[in-house]
Amino acid sequence: MVVSDLKGQCVLVTGGAGFVGSNLVRRLIADGAVVTILDDFFTGRLENLRGVGPESYRLVRGSVTDSDLVRQLVSDAEFVFHLAARNIIASTRNPYEDFKTNIGGTLNVLLAARDYHPQRVIYTSSVSVYGNPRYLPINEDDRISLLTPYAVSKYSGEGYCQAFYESYGVSVVVVRYSNVYGPWQDPQNPYCGVVAKFMQRAQSGLPLEIHGDGQQTRDFTFVEDAVEATLQAALSPKSEGEVFNIGTGVETSVETLAHLVSDLYGLELVPLHIDRRDIDNIRRRVVNIEKIRRILRWVPSVTLAKGLCKTQQWLQTA
């Protein structure tokens, strides 16, 4: 039986020094969990944990590709939040490293979970697995279309989660994040998302760079909402073996996002349209969040406008 809260529970967060990971770590510590972070600092940063007392968590520098280390850490954990991954740009540039980290690392976590039986493994996947959908909004059981090495590896991790749940009884849940943004997303990081890049340029008074025509759409999710949904998936007995979209159900074009950011900074939008990237192969995206609302009673609480404002406030004090 999964516990009702995480107070006093030993929790492992792989990728805990990353953007979403560090936000999750802050929440877990606030909730009284005993937190261990595993991070290889490929994109994670110690700076992301600024303001969190080092006595509040245990930090292990290492990779999920190290099977012995993973086994050691999982053996002590009641809950495993597996966020460590090469992201979409890094994966496209180096598919082999993507394979080793995203697929091999996930297999290492699940093999350890099979042997040591934590109460729950929470695997963070991505709506990238849907590719260009036939219908909108996208349901969890809609057609999968793997257009990037990153999508392949994240979906492979999902497959291993399902197989270990069915074959070995490992308690797992999969959450598919949609374009998460917010505090601690580093705009200096070449792998970060469009919101952080737009806000950095707006803060400097520079024109916002839009890849392509700007009519491509996404479902932008504030990081606090993503963390809350992830915790609910971790704690609910109803989520075991399930896959959930985590988004807002609101479709927003990149051009509209650029207008919102420009307005926030009191700037006149003069977009700079530049070439599409090799990862810019999704035209429209918005997810259906009815399943997580129905089963876990979760709905997002932060609108895009409010989330951008909260992110701006954070940037001004960062």
Cite the active site residues.
150
- Dihedral through CA 47, CA 68, CA 162, CA 222, nearest 10? 0
| Residue whose token pair is 């091999």 | 104
- Do 108 and 164 form a contact (C-beta atoms < 8 A)? no
| Residue whose token pair is 């760079």 | 209
How wide is the angle at C-alpha 279 spanned by C-alphas 211 and 88, nearest 5°?
120
Q: For residue 235, how many other CB atoms are within 10 A of its CB?
A: 21
Cα separation, 247 vs 178, whole angstroms: 5
Q: What is the DSSP letter of 138?
A: B
Residues pairing with 174 in the sheet: 123, 243
Compute the radius of gyration of the chain from its Cα atoms: 19
Q: For residue 190, how many other CB atoms are within 10 A of its CB?
A: 10
Cα separation, 70 vs 143, whole angstroms: 33
Cβ contacts of 14 within 8 Å, gap of 6 or more: 21, 38, 39, 64, 80, 81, 82, 83, 84, 105, 109
CA separation, residue 3 to residues 6, 8, 10, 73, 237 (Å): 7, 11, 12, 20, 9
Cα separation, 21 vs 8, whole angstroms: 19
